[in-house]
Amino acid sequence: MAAISQPELRTDWAIFLTTVATIALACVPVFAFHDSAAATITRVFDVITQNLGVLYLWYGTGAVAFLVWLAASRFGRVKLGSSGERPEFSTFSWLAMIFCAGVGATLLYWAVIEWGHYISRPPFGLSPRSPEAIEWAATYGMFHWGVTGWAIFCLPAIAIAYPYYVRKIPYLRLSTGCSAYLPEGVTGGRGRALDFLYMINMVGGTGTSLGLSTPMISAAVAELLGLDRRFLLDVAVVVGCIAVFGTSAYLGLQRGFKRMSDATMILALLLLLFVLVVGPTLFILKMGTNSIGLILQNFLRMNTWTDPVHDSGFVESWTVFYWAWWMAYAPFVGIFVTRISRGRTLREVIGGMLTFGSLGAAAFYVVLGNYALHLDLRGLLDVTGMVANGAEASAITAVIESLPYGQIALGIFVLVAVVLLATTYDSASYTLASVSTQRLEAGHDPARWNRVFWACALGFLPITLLFAEGGLKVVQSATIVVSMPLLGVGVLMALSLMRMLREDVRDRT
C-alpha cells in the first residue's frame, strides 16, 4: 500500500489537547480526595440508575429490533466499499479481532464469578440458593454478554462504516455516524462536540475494564510468584499491560493486533477445551444447555424486566450497568470494526457481531462459570463466600488453580487475560488516535506516535479507580456516568444511517 503523505496525517490538536487536559482534571481529584470522590461517583450512579435506568433497557431492546430488521431488509446487501472489493482480512481474523476488541479480559473476570453475585440475590424474587435461583444465576451472565450487548456495539459500527466507505467521508470518527444531521460536516462545531464526547467516554469506559481486570490478573500473578497482592502490584500489572498493548499499537494492525487476536482465540479455545474435558463435563454441558433454553424462552422478558414490585435493585445494579458498559465501549468498537470491515456487507457485520460475539462469550460462561458453580455446589470451594466478602479476584484465582495442573492452568489463564486486555486497549488506542487525526482515508492508519501515546494515556484513569475507596461499586458508577450522553447519540446514528441509505437508494433508482 502506498505511503500516505505526512500533511494528510496532521493531528487534530484541539481534540487531542482538550482530551488530555480533561483526563488530568478527572484523575487529580480522585487521587487527592479518593474517599469523597468515590462517594460522589456512587451517589451519581444511584441517581441515574434509579431515575433513568429504564432508558437503557429500551435502548438495548430497540437496538436489537432495528439491527435484525436492517439485516433482513434490502439494505442488508449493501457493501461497505466498492462493488467488487474483497474483504481486507480473512473471516477468522476478522471475527477474532472483533471479539478480542469487544470483550477484553473483563469477560474472564465475569464468566468465572458473576453467578456468585446472583445465587444469593437472584432475580424475579426467587429464594436465594433455590434450584430456580441456581439455574438463573448460571444464565443471567450469558444474557448480559449476549445479543443485546453486541447489538449496542454493532449499531455505531454500521452507522460509521456506511458513510466512511460508501459516501467516502475521510474521517474515522464518531461524528461520521451522525453526518446526515451535521450541516457543517464532521469538522464543524457539532461534529467536534460529538468527537470530544467520544474521547472522554472512551477513557472512562476503558478505565472500567482495566479497573476490573487488573485485580484479577494481579491476584493470579501473586499466587504464581508467591507474593502478597498490594496496590503497588496492581500498578505494576497495569504498567506491564500498557507495555504489551503499547508494543502492539506500535506494530500496527497487520503485524500487531491481527496476529495477537488470532493467537488469543486459539489459546482461549484450548483453555476452554481443557476445562471442559478435565472438569465435570456432563454438569457443564447440561447446565449450559439449560441456560440457553432459559434465554431463548425469556429473551423479551429479560430485556424489559424492570422489577417494579420488589424493586430489589437487581436490574439497576446489573442489567442497567451492563448496557451502560456496552454503550461506553460502543463508539470505540464501532470505529474499530469500521476499520477492519471494508468489503463486508451490512448483513455480514450485523450477523458476525450478534451471532459470533454472543456465542463466543457464551462459551466462556458455560465452561468457566459452570465449573466454578460446580465447585461451590459440591462444597469443594466456597466461591460465593469469597465473592460475598469482596474477594472476587482471589475467588477467580482459586477456581482456576483447582484444576489439574493448576499452576500451569493459572499461568495460561493469566496469559490469555493479559493478551485479551492488550487487544482491547490496542484497538482503543487506535480509535482514539484516529479521532484525533484530521483526515484518515479508508485503508490508512493514524500516526504511530499518536497510537502509542493513547496506549500509555489509557492507564492513568484505571490506576485512579483502583486507588479510590469503594471497589467494584466505583468502577460500575464511573461507567454509568460517562455513558449517559450516548443514549441520544445512538438514536441519532440510527436515524442518520437510515436517512443516508434511503437517499442513496433513491438516487440510484
In this structure, is residue 493 part of a structural domain?
yes
In this structure, is residue 68 part of a structural domain?
yes
* Owning domain of residue 74: 9-504
In this structure, is residue 1 part of a structural domain?
no
Residue 210 pLDDT grade (very low, low, confident, very high; cuts 50, 70, 90): low
Q: Within 10 Å of residue 326's Cβ, how many Cβ atoms?
A: 26
> For residue 301, is pLDDT > 70?
yes
Closest CA to 280 of 363, 404, 387, 382: 404
pLDDT score of 6? 40
> For residue 56, is pLDDT > 90?
yes
Residue 38 pLDDT grade (very low, low, confident, very high; cuts 50, 70, 90): low
pLDDT score of 57? 95
The DSSP result for 401-440, as a single string, is: HTSTTHHHHHHHHHHHHHHHHHHHHHHHHHHHHHHTBS--
Residue 484 pLDDT grade (very low, low, confident, very high; cuts 50, 70, 90): confident
Mean pLDDT of 151-164: 95
> For residue 469, is pLDDT > 80?
no
Domain of 24, CATH number, reads 1.20.1730
- pLDDT tens digits for range 408-441: 999 999 888 888 877 777 777 777 777 777 777 7
Tell me what percent of the residues of the chain surpass a pLDDT of 70.
83
In this structure, is residue 509 part of a structural domain?
no
Residue 252 pLDDT grade (very low, low, confident, very high; cuts 50, 70, 90): low
In this structure, is residue 390 part of a structural domain?
yes
Q: Which residue has the higher pLDDT, 158 or 264?
A: 158
pLDDT score of 119? 95
What is the C-alpha separation between 207 and 465, in angstroms, rounded?
A: 7
> For residue 31, is pLDDT > 60?
no
pLDDT score of 23? 65
User: Which of 166-180, 257-271, 273-287 holds the top average pLDDT?
Assistant: 273-287
In this structure, is residue 2 part of a structural domain?
no
Q: Which residue has the higher pLDDT, 478 or 381?
A: 381
Closest CA to 372 of 392, 388, 394, 396: 396
**Torsional sign, CA 177, 178, 183, 185:** negative
User: Which of 28-32, 64-68, 125-129 holds the top average pLDDT?
Assistant: 64-68
> For residue 310, is pLDDT > 50?
yes
Residue 231 pLDDT grade (very low, low, confident, very high; cuts 50, 70, 90): low
In this structure, is residue 3 part of a structural domain?
no
Q: Which of 7-11, 84-88, 165-169 has the lowest mean pLDDT?
A: 7-11
Q: Which residue has the higher pLDDT, 311 or 26?
A: 311
What is the C-alpha separation between 284 and 287, in angstroms, rounded?
A: 5
* Cβ neighbours for 205, distance < 8 A, ≥ 6 positions apart: 325, 328, 329, 332, 479, 482, 483
pLDDT score of 154? 96
Q: Angle, nearest 10°, between helix axes 13-32 and 189-225?
A: 50
What is the C-alpha separation between 243 and 456, in angstroms, rounded?
A: 8
pLDDT score of 399? 96
Query: Three-class SS of residue 79?
Result: strand
Q: Which of 52-61, 84-93, 137-146, 199-208 has the lowest mean pLDDT?
A: 199-208
What is the C-alpha separation between 197 and 287, in angstroms, rounded?
A: 42
> For residue 213, is pLDDT > 90?
no
**Count of all residues that appear for the chain in the document:** 509
- pLDDT tens digits for range 68-114: 999 999 999 999 988 778 898 889 889 988 888 778 778 888 999 99
User: Which of 214-228, 284-298, 433-447 holds the top average pLDDT?
Assistant: 284-298
The DSSP result for 24-45, as a single string, is: HHHHHHHHHTHHHHHHHHHHHH
* Element at 303 (helix H, strand E): helix 281-304
Evaluate whether 416 touches 216 at the Cβ level (below 8 Å): no
In this structure, is residue 4 part of a structural domain?
no
pLDDT score of 486? 85
The number of domains in the chain is 1
User: Which of 7-21, 169-183, 194-208 holds the top average pLDDT?
Assistant: 169-183
What is the C-alpha separation between 394 and 335, in angstroms, rounded?
A: 35
